[in-house]
A and B are shown apart, each in its own frame.
Chain A
């Protein structure tokens, strides 16, 4: 049971480039999220999904796109990378929508924008 898998683990981009951060979970969880972690800011929610075809914005959604075509996958797209998007990105999932189940996190993608 792999849990939540994020790829790539590290990435360096130039300003203006686009890329997709991949996230997959094998626990059949309906709920998935993307967070970014920055020094002094903690973890902040970017986007959230409650199932295939349903997404919602978090605290810092600008500059990022998401879609959820399957239960297993929740990719995060950077449309035109900016230095302010240099961060560590974490994907998370959880099973039930009643607050009774903990969230499972991937190991993160460390992204640098030059």
Chain B
């Protein structure tokens, strides 16, 4: 069974800092790994998707890396802003044959607070 762990559970930083969120998974047979953002009372917004054949993806101030062999991913946020405050979730799509592409297993998230 795939298990996904995110560290730290919560993080509080001053504005402007660069920060790293960590995600680990137990089964390296995956189709992809996705990072999502969730604001309070809202749904999930996809930030970055890394396919199993890729090593990293970048979008603006965000950079996500994937090391499938070690079962790890990191989300790097540069020059953090108060608007980045949210819960960040990591999810993997396990390669289990057939129709498993979109069956995601989620970590429990990192709650990020960026202080002005």
Chain A interfacial positions (CB closer than 8 Å to B): 4, 31, 33, 35, 40-45, 48, 50, 54, 56, 58, 90, 92, 94, 96-108
Across the interface, do A103 and B99 meet the contact criterion of CB distance under 8 Å? no
Q: Does B20 make an interface contact (CB < 8 A)?
A: no
Q: Which residue of B lies closest to A102 (CB)?
A: B46
Q: Which residue of A lies closest to B102 (CB)?
A: A31
Across the interface, do B49 and A56 meet the contact criterion of CB distance under 8 Å? no
B-side contacts of A107, CB under 8 Å: 42-43
With A42-B109, A103-B104 as contacts: A108 and B46 at CB distance below 8 Å: no
Across the interface, do B108 and A42 meet the contact criterion of CB distance under 8 Å? yes
Across the interface, do A50 and B99 meet the contact criterion of CB distance under 8 Å? yes
Across the interface, do B89 and A43 meet the contact criterion of CB distance under 8 Å? yes
Q: Give the distance in Å from the alpha carbon of A101 to the alpha carbon of B46 in the complex.
A: 10
With A90-B43, A105-B45 as contacts: A99 and B99 at CB distance below 8 Å: no
Q: Give the distance in Å from the alpha carbon of A94 to the alpha carbon of B91 in the complex.
A: 14
Q: Give the distance in Å from the alpha carbon of A48 to the alpha carbon of B106 in the complex.
A: 15
Q: Does B71 make an interface contact (CB < 8 A)?
A: no
Given contact pairs A42-B107, A100-B51, enumerate 13 new A-B contacts (beta carbons under 8 Å): A31-B101, A33-B104, A35-B106, A40-B108, A43-B104, A45-B104, A94-B101, A97-B101, A97-B102, A99-B31, A99-B32, A104-B46, A107-B42
- A sample of 13 cross-chain residue pairs with beta-carbon separation below 8 angstroms, ordered by A number, consists of A31-B101, A33-B103, A35-B106, A41-B108, A42-B106, A43-B104, A50-B102, A92-B102, A94-B102, A98-B101, A103-B44, A105-B36, A107-B42
Q: Does B65 make an interface contact (CB < 8 A)?
A: no
A-side contacts of B108, CB under 8 Å: 40-42
Q: How far is the CB of A30 from chain B (nearest CB, A)?
A: 9
Q: Give the distance in Å from the alpha carbon of A92 to the alpha carbon of B101 in the complex.
A: 13
Q: Give the distance in Å from the alpha carbon of A96 to the alpha carbon of B43 in the complex.
A: 21
Across the interface, do B52 and A48 meet the contact criterion of CB distance under 8 Å? no
Across the interface, do A103 and B102 meet the contact criterion of CB distance under 8 Å? yes
Across the interface, do A102 and B34 meet the contact criterion of CB distance under 8 Å? yes
Contact with B103, one of A42, A58, A90, A100 (Cβ below 8 angstroms): A58
B-side contacts of A92, CB under 8 Å: 44, 102
